[in-house]
Structure 1
């Protein structure tokens, strides 16, 4: 009788274990729980279409799907967001890939782990009121040029383009004007002669006739014309220490961004307008949609760093900052495709 009771008890235990496994499917995936589910992501200008994958991942719930509670902290430009990450007020940064090169030069190791943009999406233009004097970039000596923030990617693209035209960075005045409504104030207030900035603001200014476009890196082709190769743009990056300690968190972030990038490849205009907060539409939804179509080619379809991208970025940064010794930079230490490859496999 004792043996019979033991057999029945064992059967009941097995049945309960099976029921528990069925009732708690998430238990099988507990290993994927992010080590740091609550984190702050510093963004260098959230209203700009440059960072639309981050906005989409938040608005569409993709971060939450990955078990993350992400606080987006917005800054006037990528260099300011980088300061927040380095200072410790944000765990992860959303910004241009070249920040990882810049930090390695300073002996600090940060790594991009998912690519959002394969083109900078930055436009260099002259105000219509100055178009007679500033016909080409070669005429920019002495000009006041608005950038999102000095040292940011808007400044980098401007500097590279100017160098090609024979003008050095110290021959112009770069003025931080942000990337949202503050740009309009700088243009209308006559604070600047020209502008290097992102959409939707640049499409708005073009449509209103306020500016004349000289350089356009909103497409892959336009980017290759300026940089001579694929120029990686917006990424998510973090310190090597964070990535090593938080591989599941890093993977979850990469998953959310690749999911958002895939959504952007096929999203309808109506889907886009439903997702974007009204405050970012500049009171003109048709304009926002037009700007989105101007930059859609720039979003990475898979989150992977292109083979020639890091070297192109290093060439650009070396011409931007004479203190950078390109020979001392280990490009393989500035990015990884491991997380993006796993994410891309999930969202085919």
Structure 2
């Protein structure tokens, strides 16, 4: 009798352990989710890659697909067009989309600084002195309209140049960007790591503005400028709050993991193709970008104001707009995620 009771008790305990996972999976309003990203190999999106590669999304009961595009603007277009549910992209798109009448909201942060670097070619601009020298030149960005384009426009504006004073060329976020610079097809580049570290180490570019450094990013933008995040239409959040919470849980767990990881841990976790054929460069790039990655996924309260100011500086219509900057982000999901995944 005692043996039978012990066996039943053991089965009940096992069932209790399994039940939370089952309940969690059943509670998801949408288990199959598609995330669109522009340049997945970039360290800008490292938390997304870690959450995927380490199985953190699966642990939350999500059957998640990540679709890669040439730049953030194209990733956003995929969500607007209905072929993806969520964007892994630059925070300022949420402000821009509200201006366009489409409610988008960020719910977990990947980067607390843009990590975008503007560099000029040492080949075609050997005599470079100031940003004003870029007038009439070709600037390579990941994709027109992406955050790399916004960053370039912002730096130009501070030097008194308009977007129309330069030619913007989409070069992607990988080997194509490197090739375009080395071939002399562009005179400057606004891009991210590992592309920037690869070009810089080889002496192909001279760095003009570097927002991998949080302090410099704050100085350039005049306040905290949130960078990579997960954002989606407000309607998706309203209909699928448990699914959004599951994604936030996985991303916050990835943020925590990265902060405790060493270079070798990162190298072993990311796909080989992300290394652009040089592990040493990728390690250097990770060390340069680590400080700009979010430690906890929290979006700074002043971030939406900074993003609005940056967009307004290059678009007079946005400058005149009256926007609800509190509606472009929420930390509700992140707070619960941090409570769940407390760092040791």
> Where on the TM-score scale, by shorter chain, does this alignment land: which range?
over 0.9
Distance 2:143 2:166 in 1: 15
Cα deviation, residue 342, structure 1: 0.7
Please say if residues 21 and 27 of structure 1, whose CA atoms lie closer than 8 Å, have aligned partners that are also in contact: no
Match of 2:191 in 1: 197
| Map of 1:184 onto structure 2 | 178
Give ranges in structure 2 of 5+ residues lacking alignment: none
- Measured in 2, the distance between the counterparts of 1:82 and 1:220 equals 25
Secondary structure of residue in 2 paired with 1:179:
coil
Q: Which structure would you say has the larger Rg?
A: 1
Quick one: distance in 2 between partners of 1:144 and 1:274? 37
- C-alpha offsets along residues 170-191 of structure 1, whole Å, 9 cap, x if unaligned? 1000100001011022112221
Shift of 1:59: 0.5
Moved more, 31-40 or 220-229: 31-40
Cα 1:270–1:138 shift into 2, 3 Å: same
How far, CA to CA, are the matches of 1:23 and 1:48 in structure 2? Answer: 42
CA contact (8 A) 1:314 1:326 kept: no
8 Å CA contact retained: 1:125, 1:194: yes
Find the counterpart in structure 2 of residue 114 from structure 1.
Answer: 108
Instruction: Write out per-residue CA displacement over residues 158-177 of structure 1, whole angstroms, 9 at most, x where no aligned residue.
Output: 11111111111110001000
Mapping of residues 13-162 of structure 1, within 5 Å: 19-20=11-12, 22-28=14-20, 30-33=22-25, 34-162=28-156
Whole-angstrom distance in 2 between the partners of 1:242 and 1:180:
31
C-alpha spacing 1:248/1:180, structure 2 compared with 1 (3 Å): same
Runs of 4+ in 1 over 6 A off after TM superposition: 15-18
Counterpart of 1:280? 274
TM-score between both structures, scaled by the size of structure 1: 0.93
The Cα of 1:343 is off from its aligned counterpart by 0.7
CA distance, structure 2, for counterparts of residue 97 and residue 157 of structure 1: 12
Q: CA deviation at 1:32?
A: 3.0
Give the length in aligned residue pairs. Answer: 337
Change (3 A) 1:136 1:243: same
Alignment partner for residue 316 of structure 1, among 303, 306, 310? 310
Q: Among 224, 227, 236, which residue is 1:230 paired with?
A: 224
After TM superposition, give the deviation of residue 220 of structure 1 in Å: 0.7
